[in-house]
Amino acid sequence: MEFTYWYITLAIVILINLAVSVFLAKRNDLERFQKGAQIALVWLIPLIAAIGLWLFHRTQDPLISSSKSFGGGASKSTNFTGTGD
């Protein structure tokens, strides 16, 4: 029973490392050497480096705002101006 927990823990760490490695490999803002060095760090210092690098790069990404104002009204992107009548 004891070995089962070790296998589950090892599988989780490997999945996290693999996910972060793919995340780093797909980034366009890193050079080839940077990608290789950071992926090597993820595998050399398994859990700490994976979570640390993932959090660091997530904070570097621009924020995507999902809240937009609802309703009609005047749009600022049109060139029409009118006074009504």
Q: Quick one: DSSP state of residue 32?
A: H
Is 84 inside a domain boundary? no
Per-residue pLDDT of the chain (85 residues; tens, 9 = 90+): 677 899 999 999 999 999 999 999 999 988 999 999 999 999 999 888 888 888 888 888 777 766 666 665 555 665 666 666 5
Q: What's the whole-model pTM score?
A: 0.64
Is 76 inside a domain boundary? no
Q: Quick one: DSSP state of residue 78?
A: -
- Give the count of domains, the chain: 1
Is 73 inside a domain boundary? no
Structural domain of residue 26, as residue ranges? 2-60
CB under 8 Å to 13, separation ≥6 — which residues? 46, 47
